Amino acid sequence: MSEIYKKATRVIVWLGPTTEHSRMCKQWLEAIDKLIPTMQSANKITIGSPEYNPNWRLLILRDTFSSPETDAIWAASIGKFWNHTWFRRGWIVQEFLLAREVVCLSGDVQFGLQDLIDLFTVPADDALSEATDGWLSYRILMQLKTDSFDDTPQPRRFLRLMASVAQEFVTQELGDRLFGFLGMIEGLDFVPDYQQTVKENFTRFAATLARQYGCLDFLSLWSANLDDLMKDTPEELLGLPSWVPSFQATPLTAPWRLATGGVRSWNGQIKWDAAAGRRHIHDPPLDTTTDPNRLQVHGQIIDHIDKLSSARLVKNFTIEEGYLTSIVVQIQADLPGFEHWTQVELISFLNTVSRNGDASHESAEEILGLAPGGFPSEYKHLSNCADSLGICLSVGRGRRFMRTEKGRAGLAPFIGSRARESDKKGSVIVILHGCIVPMVLQKVDEDVDDDGGEWKVVGDCYFEGIMHGEAVDWEEGDTRTFVLV
């Protein structure tokens, strides 16, 4: 089906008969068309203008909903439009994203792609959530249509998509949470086998990415140690190998995954490169074993976790006075070398993590409201420091602040990471060829030294001074072998 959508000149989507809400949406679009020429920034938000900027159009149209002159009925009707069941079906993602032109029909009311983009500017507030029954699939669909990660190489581009759509679209079969999106990655040497279990198919898919692309970024989507703790995990996904993603939504957002964009999954590049561009080499004589649940990978142990803080970032966008101070005080008490930290150092650190290896356009002082930002004065009201602060705090959800044996500061997975205990070393931090972020591993048998045995994936991590390949000082063939189970 994916090939049909790619070759089609136009895909027409039938949403059903005309409704009051679809007509209201069309009326709002017509009203916006009349309003734009009268606005001060018309040159920036008029399609076809030499100065047109789609980001400005989004901001300005979104701001119209906060005007006291805007009737609340518009947002409610747009929410009901997005609540249509078509926008929730898993198999429509390929249909919508691969088509060169999409036209949605609600009876005799027609919506083109730009119409949908404009309707998408409605703020995702509590009222809209009520109108859409809490579903976010329409938002994910539109974000993917306007930012399809084309600047991200495969298979990381596909993993970014999977991290975004995880469990948000309705599928009749559990396996279709993955199979329904395979058309988004061309040339993949993987075909679902419906005679196999979901667990077997998901395991074979992850191994295929390692073999075909030399890519281990899927390790950043680890989930087995989290799935086994959640009561609503389907039985078919319990007991997955630690290196195989289940593509369930809750594990993938607690914590957010660094190799697929973290908390800034949209409109940006991922510039982490911990392995300095080195690819995974799949050794057939060694990797082809009688046990498909084992994956042999190569890299080096570069550090161990020494100490972990008990501070937990559980509040993101609603923060009372003193919350940040309490976090800083706890980190200072738990970790050596953090005595100088204030709220500014805390947010500066988290802001760096959230930027996916790219430079930040906001300082910690600006995010905290301690210094003026760079937004033009006439649009200052569109800038929301609380959003930036919430994004920074969100990157710490499901993670713990750590200090490594070599004195580096970082963030480790909250579940499974171990600090040093007396003469017993903490969890190992490794750089694996083929993975753009460092990983925390735990030995299955603690009595076996670090040069052998089997390992379980604890999760990805961030720590200073190694995220761009600085720690890779060994020859490409001079690596340790880790058997992941």
Distance CA 219, CA 438 (A): 10
Is residue 253 packed enough to be buried (19+ CB in 10 Å), middle (13-18) or exposed (0-12)? middle
Tell me the CB-side half-sphere exposure of residue 105, using CA atoms within 13 A: 8
pLDDT at 378: 45
User: Tens of pLDDT along 257-289?
Assistant: 999 999 987 767 899 999 999 999 987 544 545
Q: Pick 374 or 340 by higher pLDDT.
A: 340
> What's the predicted TM-score (pTM) here?
0.88
| Mean pLDDT, residues 454-464 | 97
pLDDT of 380 over the 50 cut: no
Contacts of 131 (CB under 8 A, 6+ apart): 75, 76, 78, 79, 80, 82, 83
So what's the pLDDT on residue 377?
A: 47
With bands split at pLDDT 50, 70 and 90, how would you rate the model's confidence at 140? confident
pLDDT average, residue stretch 19-32? 95
pLDDT band at 186 (very low <50, low <70, confident <90, very high): confident
Q: What is the pLDDT, as a whole number, of residue 332?
A: 98
Q: Kindly report the average pLDDT of the chain as a whole number.
A: 90
At 316-333, the pLDDT tens digits run 877 888 999 999 999 999
Distances (CA, A) of 444 to 357, 449, 458: 32, 11, 11
186-190, 250-254, 425-429, 431-435: the lowest-pLDDT one: 250-254
Statement: residue 109 has pLDDT above 80: yes
Residue 450: predicted pLDDT:
64
Residues contacting 68, CB < 8 A, separation 6+ = none
| pLDDT per residue as tens digits for the range 28-69 | 999 999 999 999 889 999 999 999 999 899 989 988 888 888
DSSP at 316: S
pLDDT for the residue numbered 288: 47
- Count how many Cα atoms sit within 13 Å of the Cα of residue 275 in the half-sphere of its side chain: 26
Dist CA 302 CA 278 (whole Å): 16
Residue 383 predicted with pLDDT over 80: no
- Contact in structure between 418 and 304 (CB atoms under 8 Å): no
For the stretch 156-170, pLDDT in tens is: 999 999 998 876 788
Question: Which residues of 226-276 form beta strands (DSSP E)?
Answer: none
Alpha helices in 255-336 (DSSP H): 284-287, 323-334
Q: What was the pLDDT predicted at 429?
A: 98
pLDDT at 202 > cutoff 50: yes
Query: What per-residue confidence (pLDDT) applies to 253?
Result: 84
What share of the chain in percent tops pLDDT 90?
A: 65
Report the pLDDT value the prediction gives residue 126, as an integer from 0 to 100.
61
Q: In which band, very low, low, confident or very high, does the pLDDT at 90 lie, cut at 50, 70 and 90?
A: confident
State the pLDDT at residue 469: 98
Of the listed ranges 3-17, 110-124, 334-348, 405-419, the least confidently predicted one is 3-17
